């Protein structure tokens, strides 16, 4: 298990690191030649984090494709879900930076605003009775 903190001050924990594919990277390779990003997906009962090594100009779309090959999970909406970096929505053509956490967002099972509206309506009905 590895723990750390992002440049944005977010703490992270990597339970298992998997790379896109085994890559023979020479020790003389400059940091500009590759970047490592993380693709995150969370279910209520478990969180997944895949580390992917990418070309410097790779996009979020490229990172998702690499993570998809690693994950072998078909329950993730790889092509249609909204995505973001550290909680900020991003387009799939966005180029992430080194160590960015690309998040795949699931739709909310219960919209908090809708639940509040329903509670208020129930309270109003209770007063009228």
CATH number at residue 113: 3.10.20.90
Q: 59: how many CB neighbours lie within 10 A of its CB?
A: 18
Which range of residues forms the domain containing residue 83? 2-128
Q: What are the φ and ψ backbone dihedral angles of 23, each rounded to 5 degrees?
A: -125, 130
The pTM for the full model equals 0.66
- In tens digits, the chain (129 residues) has pLDDT values of 555 555 555 555 444 444 444 344 444 444 568 999 999 999 988 999 999 999 999 999 999 999 999 998 889 999 999 999 999 999 999 999 999 999 999 987 788 899 899 999 999 988 765
The count of structural domains within the chain is: 1
Q: Nearest to residue 68, comparing CAs of 57, 81, 55?
A: 81
């Amino acid at each position: 298990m590895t723990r750390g903190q992002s440049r944005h001050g977010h703490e992270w924990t990597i339970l298992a690191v998997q790379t896109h594919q085994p890559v023979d990277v020479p020790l003389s390779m400059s940091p500009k030649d590759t970047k490592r990003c993380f693709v995150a997906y969370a279910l209520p009962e478990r969180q997944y984090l895949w580390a992917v090594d990418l070309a410097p100009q790779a996009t979020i779309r490229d990172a998702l494709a690499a993570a998809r090959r690693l994950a072998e999970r078909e329950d993730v909406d790889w092509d249609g879900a909204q995505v973001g970096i550290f909680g900020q929505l991003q387009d799939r053509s966005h180029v992430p930076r080194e160590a960015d956490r690309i998040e795949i967002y699931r739709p909310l099972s219960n919209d908090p605003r809708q639940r509040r509206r329903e509670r208020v309506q129930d309270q109003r009905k209770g007063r009228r009775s």
